[in-house]
Each structure stands twice: as C-alpha cells, then as structure tokens.
Structure 1
Amino acid sequence: MKIKKGDHVMVMAGKDKGATGTVIAAYPTANKVLVEGVNMIKKNKKVTNQGFRGAKEGGIVTQEAPIDVSNVQLVDPETKRPARVGYKINEDGTKVRVLRPSGKEI
C-alpha cells in the first residue's frame, strides 16, 4: 500500500469526492484507510458510568469509517493537486516513495 498514516490525501470517488484530509490509520490487510473528516457515520454507543464524576456517557456518536485505498490519492504539497505515488531505489539502496508527475521524494 502506497498510502501511509499521516499522509495528506484527497478523495477521488464516492460520496465525499473532492474532500481532503489526513490519514489517521491505515489497514493494509483490508486495503482501507481512515481519513480525518471523511466518510462520517453515526454509531450508537452504550451508556457507561465511567464518565466524569460518574456521569453517564452514551448515545449517538459521529465518527469516521474506513474508505478503500483505491479511492484516495496523495496530495502534492507544492501544487496542492492529487498525484500518483511510485517507488524509487536510492543509491544507498533504500526504497523511497516518489510523486509520479514531479518525481520528488515524499
């Protein structure tokens, strides 16, 4: 998977097309990523007595759901446009990610 935690990405398909955000978590086995503020869902949370001073917390919570990695692209920090990602081997033998249009290292 070429998208990692902390990357700034743009959604290319789906109900949140055009939205940008930071990757909160990456799930390589499922080919999914969790993007901040994208694919928001409502979830029912059970009431617990573990809140502040024994207050009951629960109800309907809004949170992000994972989105398929094929629906997001990395955003070029200079041009602010989505770009494909590739790999390049440095002269010292390390593998680094590069942006395809410009060839700059990430």
Structure 2
Amino acid sequence: MKIRKGDEVIVIAGKDKGATGKVLRVLPREQRVVVEGVNLVTKHIKADQARPGKQTGRVTVEAPLHVSNVALVEDGKPVRVGYRINEDGTKVRISRRTGKEI
C-alpha cells in the first residue's frame, strides 16, 4: 500500500470529502485506513465488555475508509504516489506532482 501510518491524507470521496487527517492505522488485507477525526461512528459498549479504565456507553470512534477514497497531501493538495529506486538500492516513495521524496 502506498499510504502508511502517520501520513497526512485528504478524503477524496464519501461523506467526509475534503477532510484531512493523520493515518492512525493501516489495514492492508482489507485495503483500508483509519484516519484521525474522519468517518466517525457511534459504538455502544457495555460495561462488562470494556476493559478496566475504558469508556463505556455511547462512544464515538473512527471507522476504516477504503484506501482508494483517500490521497496523500502535499502543500495542501492531493498527490499521487510513485516509487523510485535510489542508487544505493533503497526504494523510496515520491510525489507524482513534484517528484520530491515523501
């Protein structure tokens, strides 16, 4: 996957289109990402199911988004990601818009 944990992304499709946030979790098998403050859903958690010290009742959490609905952000604009092999053999991600390393 071209998007990794900690990347700044923008939502390009769906109910939260235009929202930006940091990637909290990447789920490569499902091709989904969890973005901070985006795609919020309400979960109901019973007190007997929660671990000690965790919140119970109605809890708002971020739900996963499909990776095709988000794009990496560079200078406030969405960018596509490519790869380049450096001379020392390392593979790095690059911005298709500017050609700079991400």
Q: TM-score, normalised by structure 2?
A: 0.93
> Equivalent residue for 2:16?
16
> Equivalent residue for 2:41?
41
In 1: Cα distance, 2:57 partner to 2:89 partner: 52
In 1: Cα distance, 2:84 partner to 2:73 partner: 18
Unaligned runs of 5+ in 2: none
Cα 1:105–1:51, aligned 2, differ >3 Å: closer, same or farther? closer
Give deviations 1:73-95, integer Å, cap 9, x for gaps: 0000xx21110000000011110
Cα 1:103–1:60, aligned 2, differ >3 Å: closer, same or farther? same
> Equivalent residue for 1:102?
98
- Alpha-carbon distance, 1:66 to partner: 0.2
In 2: Cα distance, 1:80 partner to 1:93 partner: 31
| Runs of 4+ with deviation above 6 angstroms | none
Mark the structure with the bigger radius of gyration: 1
Please, what is the CA RMSD of the aligned residues? 1.5
Identity across matched positions, percent: 59
3-state SS of paired residue (1:47): coil
Count of residue pairs the alignment pairs up:
100
